Amino acid sequence: MINMSKAPGPAPVRLLFACVALLSCLRAPPACAKPAHALIIVPPGATAPAGFAEQLATWRQSGEVSSALLLDQNQKKDPGFASLALLEFPSEGFYEQWNRDEAPKLGAPLLVRRADVLTHDEVYPRDSNKSVFLVNTYKLLVSPQRYAEFVQGYILPNLLDQKAAHLLLRHTLYLERGGPSDEAEAVLVMEYRDSVAFNRRDAVRDALVGKLLATDPAWKKWDETQESIRKGLTGTLAAYIELPAPQLPDLPHYVPEYHVVGGLRILGSELKNAVEQLALGFQKFQPDAKLATSNIPSSEGGIAGLYYHLSDVAPMGDDAKITDMMPFHDSFGYMPTEISVATGGYEKRGSLWAFAVVVSKDNPLNEISVDALERIFGAEREAGSSPTTTICSPPSTRAARKRTSANGARSVCTASSPTRKSKRSATAHRVSRSTLSATGFTGRRNGTPTSRNTWSRSRRHRMRRAPRSRATTRSRQSGKTGTQSGSQR
């Protein structure tokens, strides 16, 4: 963190270096904490302890586990497991904490295996309650590095082909980090869309094998040597188990206030299967309601179903914009009722997607707490010390623009600490009208739009005023505007 008020050197040079440093950070390649993975296995013939699914849901709700998938075997003969839980942790640090504090509490008959992911892919939308899972396990006969090459060259083409045929919704290949016998095993988890897709998998695979054998010599060589690379152990059909809902004891229980009878049409985004779950929950309280859901790939198009009289509810992935609501208002004369189900910000309405903090690969930082992020990027901009304020504006003179253009800088930045009672600090916090115009806070500067974003804001402002302007024009044409003179009429 650079403290601008304490940096040595003249102010213009200091500010230019700050802008260059900021651009360098923005151009840095992304560096994210790598997720960690673990498998919890209930051996065949054993029974998971009571409350196992609730425990998985608790870990997921707390954020200690970012993803938890629970499968139960669904075949009578020679299953490879009774239950299988696939856990993903935000980082290695989260896994180590979980392994120290929570894993010892599991006890027998649960087995915990640390694993690495060799390949993974999934598609949305999907409803795993209707899916068929197939879990294959293999014993490695070669080194993990050699097996990783085998996965990329031999296994992955088949998985991607089944995905392209709309059969496979998800696949993940785990490589365990040794076991009781110090022999690494691979676990391939495949999720098929439904039983029809599962039954088609052999035909699709056979067609691909014939094509690759004839056209791909590298794949043919892998096929000839696969028996020396791995040994098949088990293949288990499994079913998805929905984890219990989060425990929200402070949330009031829902009590129906109306008796809904008749049809209720839902047209819009499926919100990653959330809409169907909400509809099923609604029908538990309103059994006489006849619900019909239609999913479309666009959230913005959902609200169109309301003013075209095609639906009664429009699920959307973000807040409705003024351009979305204007046609509804023009059709009915009032604004649509908006109910926020979930937002992308923590206890804040109006935010959509969660922020991604990009860190340079040269930065030694591996993890950071939410509190530290708030102090760095929050409104106060504390950064762990006294807050600073930065104001950036384009150069105001033609000579300055030429100089900064030659140096590659687009703006001049000033920064100061509001706690310091200095003339420079007061100047930085006194933002003039010309500065606001230069930074795009007003619609026009010297008679022309300052930027495309500013022009869009100005256009939206004109669009909001458009209905009143049309009404005024009609009244003037009809001679009913009392403020006009007779000659003007």
Tens digits of per-residue pLDDT, 446-463? 444 433 333 333 344 444
- Reply yes or no on whether the pLDDT at 48 is more than 80: yes
Highest mean pLDDT among 120-134, 416-430, 452-466, 472-486: 120-134
Asked if residues 315 and 271 have their Cβ atoms less than 8 Å apart, the reply is yes
Tens-digit pLDDT profile for residues 209-250: 999 999 999 999 999 999 999 999 999 999 999 888 777 788
Q: Supply φ then ψ for residue 233, to 5 degrees.
A: -110, -65
Amino acid 421: pLDDT: 40
Q: CA 67 to CA 87: how far, in whole Å?
A: 6
pLDDT (tens digit per residue) in 322-362: 888 889 999 999 988 888 776 655 555 555 555 677 888 88
Q: Does an H or E element contain 53, and which? A: helix 52-62
Per-residue pLDDT reduced to its tens digit, 275-315: 888 888 899 999 999 998 888 877 777 888 889 888 999 98
The CATH fold assigned to 262-332 is: D-Maltodextrin-Binding Protein; domain 2 (3.40.190)
Q: Strands, E, within 2-103: which ranges?
A: 36-42, 67-73, 83-89
* pLDDT at site 113: 92
What contacts 24+ positions apart, CB below 8 Å, involve 428-431? 428/389, 428/391, 429/389, 431/391
Whether the pLDDT of residue 372 is over 50: the answer is yes
Those residues with Cβ within 8 angstroms of residue 354's Cβ, 6 or more apart along the chain or in another chain: 344, 345
Res. 379 pLDDT band, cuts 50 70 90: low
CA 319 from chain centre, in angstroms, equals 16
Helix segments in 174-311, DSSP class H: 195-215, 217-225, 274-285, 304-307
For residue 454, what pLDDT is reported?
A: 34
Domain extents for the chain? 4-28+358-431, 36-241, 262-332
| Residue 361, pLDDT score | 82
- The count of other CB atoms within 10 Å of the CB of residue 348 is 8
Domain 36-241 has CATH 3.40.50.970: no
Q: How confident is the model at residue 364 (pLDDT cuts 50, 70, 90)?
A: confident
Angstrom distance (rounded) from CA 361 to CA 416: 29
Q: pLDDT tens digits, residue range 156-186?
A: 999 999 999 999 999 999 999 865 445 679 9
Q: What per-residue confidence (pLDDT) applies to 345? A: 54
Rounded CA-CA distance 116/120 in Å is 11
Output the average pLDDT for the chain: 74
Residue 190 above 60 pLDDT? yes
Residue with tokens 């509490």: 105
Per-residue pLDDT of 60-81, as tens digits, reads 888 889 999 999 999 888 899 9
Rounded percentage of the chain residues whose pLDDT exceeds 90: 38
Q: Supply the pLDDT for residue 179.
A: 52
Which residue shows structure tokens 């294959």?
Answer: 136
Chain-centre distance for alpha carbon 135? 27
Helix, strand or coil, per DSSP, at residue 7:
coil
Average pLDDT value for residue range 51-56: 92
pLDDT for res 29: 37
Number of other residues whose CB lies within 10 A of the CB of residue 382: 14
Q: How many residues does the chain have?
A: 489
pLDDT at 344: 56
Beta strands 444-445 and 448-449: pairing type?
antiparallel
User: Is the model more confident about 105 or about 38?
Assistant: 38
Is the link from the previous residue into 30 a cis peptide, with omega within 30 of 0? no
Q: Please, which pLDDT band fits residue 363 given cuts at 50, 70 and 90?
A: confident
Two structure tokens written together for 242: 């929905």
Structure tokens of 477? 């044409």
